[in-house]
Copies of this chain bind each other. A is one copy, B any other.
Amino acid sequence: MGKQATIKEIAQMAGVSPGTVDRIIHNRGNVSEDKRRRIEETIARVGYRTNVHASAISFKKVCRIVLAIPETNPGEYWDDIREGILDGLREYSDIRTECKWLFFDQFNRESCREQFEKVIGLEPDAVILGPIFEAETKELCKKLDAGGIPYAFTDRTVPETTPVVSVAADQLAAGALVGRIMMYATPEGSSIGALKAIRTGEDSSKNSDLRQKGLYDFFRARGMEDRLVFSDFSITDRQQSKREILNLIREHPDMKGIAVLNSRGHIVADILSEEGVRGIHLVSFDLTEQNASRLRGGSIESLLCQHPRAQGYKAVSAIIHFLLFKKADEGGSIYMPIDILMVENLPFYRASAL
């Protein structure tokens, strides 16, 4: 814990003024090549790190941040992400930050496009995006890149973009993890349903697709891929989804496990409960209120999740950090841990805010 050098000391050692040191630290230019080298050298030599506190306290500029993410009901996935973003914003409440929220319907491409089109006009210093629709996201990012405006993603990565950071979990690994849990929890040779609940006409989401692939690969690698039964089911009409699921079970009487590859496990749980179907091990994704209550009630056995709140928090941290220092310290993506929740460890999960 040796005492940290200050800018003033660096300046003295390099034979320049504190202002000049500050200029190179913030990449603000206007420094002769000669001094830049001298300063950078002594900074490296003494291992100078800027004092975040002093930095934050004297930071004047107000940061205009635009946040464009899906709007969801309280307690659902994107609502948790929003909470995490608010946490992050609060944490940095000492630096002046001016936020503009744009919410869109995650099932409606038009609504997303509409909101994304407003972004540039708001002249943000930075942007945080929920990249649900890939094409729209890419298009927006191209403009942001052109304008030199930094942006970050939560929830997933997007090809052909250059975000400061993507905060996301590895969904292939998550799918494989579902596979492992199913392998343990169901008898050898039984079949396992892999479901996605989607709205009629909706594309299934990128994340679900990756999970499906991860799950498939896991079983395939063990020569058991024929145990898997993939199927979508619609959630527009409750009666219909019920029929679909009951049908599935009827057609596969040896089905001992069902993995719901998105957050709609609670729907399947309720259908199975209502019909008194027992002995099917149910796994789903995301700790939404609805899923949590089914987990407590025992109709869902386990949930995989990626702490959406922490995700939101980290995206904000990264983007603000970038704004302060004009450079990212993480290498472009932050991988979230994939958490497994069962009744016993559920109570201690939410508490750990960060």
Q: Give me the interface of A with B, judged by CB distance under 8 Å.
A: 1, 3-4, 49, 51-54, 56-57, 89-90, 93-94, 96-99, 169-170, 173-174, 176-177, 180-181, 184-185, 281, 301, 310, 334-340, 342-345, 347-349, 351-352, 354
B338 with A345: CB separation less than 8 A: yes
Q: What B residues does A177 contact at CB under 8 A?
A: 342, 344-345
> Does A180 lie within 8 Å of B348, measured CB to CB?
no
In angstroms, how far is the closest chain B Cβ from the Cβ of A219? 13
Q: Are B301 and A345 in touch, CB under 8 angstroms?
A: no
Question: Smallest CB–CB gap between A19 and chain B, Å?
Answer: 19
Excluding A173-B345, A184-B184, A337-B349, 15 further A-B contacts by CB distance (< 8 Å) are A1-B89, A1-B90, A4-B93, A4-B94, A52-B53, A52-B94, A54-B94, A170-B348, A177-B342, A181-B342, A337-B339, A337-B345, A338-B344, A339-B340, A340-B345
Residue from B4, B57, B169, B340 within 8 A of A348 (CB atoms)? B169
Of A98, A174, A338, A351, most B-chain CB atoms within 10 Å:
A338
Shortest distance from the beta carbon of A287 to any chain B beta carbon, whole Å: 11
Copies of this chain assembled into the complex: 2
Q: A53 CB to closest chain B CB, in angstroms?
A: 4
Bound together, the chains give a CA A354 to CA B97 distance in angstroms of 24
Are A281 and B184 interface neighbours, CB within 8 A?
yes
Q: Write the nearest CB–CB distance from A16 to chain B, whole angstroms.
A: 23
Looking at chain A's contact residues, is the secondary structure mostly helix, strand, loop, or mixed?
mixed
A337 is contacted by which of B57, B180, B181, B348 (Cβ under 8 Å)? Answer: B348
Asked if A351 and B338 sit within 8 Å, CB to CB, the answer is: no
Give A54 to B55 CA distance when docked, in angstroms: 10
A1 engages B337 (CB within 8 Å):
no
**Which residues of chain B have C-beta atoms less than 8 A from A51's C-beta?**
57, 94
User: What is the bound-complex CA distance between A301 and B335, given in angstroms?
Assistant: 23
Q: Shortest distance in angstroms between A346's beta carbon and chain B's nearest beta carbon?
A: 9
Asked, given contacts A97-B1, A99-B1, whether A335 binds B354 with beta carbons under 8 Å apart, the answer is no
Contacts of A185 in B (CB 8 A): 184-185
7 contacts between A and B (CB under 8 A): A53-B53, A53-B57, A53-B94, A180-B342, A184-B185, A337-B339, A338-B344
Chain B residues lying within 8 Å of A345, measured Cβ to Cβ, are: 173-174, 177, 337-340
Tell me whether A344 and B180 are in contact (CB under 8 A).
Answer: yes
B338–A173 CB distance below 8 A: no
In the bound complex, residues from chain B placing their C-beta under 8 Å from that of A338 are 344-345, 348
Does B344 contact A176, Cβ atoms closer than 8 Å? yes
User: What residues of B have a CB within 8 angstroms of the CB of A310 in the complex?
Assistant: 352
Q: Which residues of B contact A340 (CB under 8 A)?
A: 339-340, 342, 345
Contacts of A90 in B (CB 8 A): 1
A312 to chain B, nearest CB (A): 14
Q: How far is the CA of A352 from the CA of B99 in the complex (A)?
A: 27
Which among B4, B169, B339 is the interface contact of A339 at CB below 8 angstroms? B339
| Distance of A22 from chain B, by nearest CB (Å) | 16
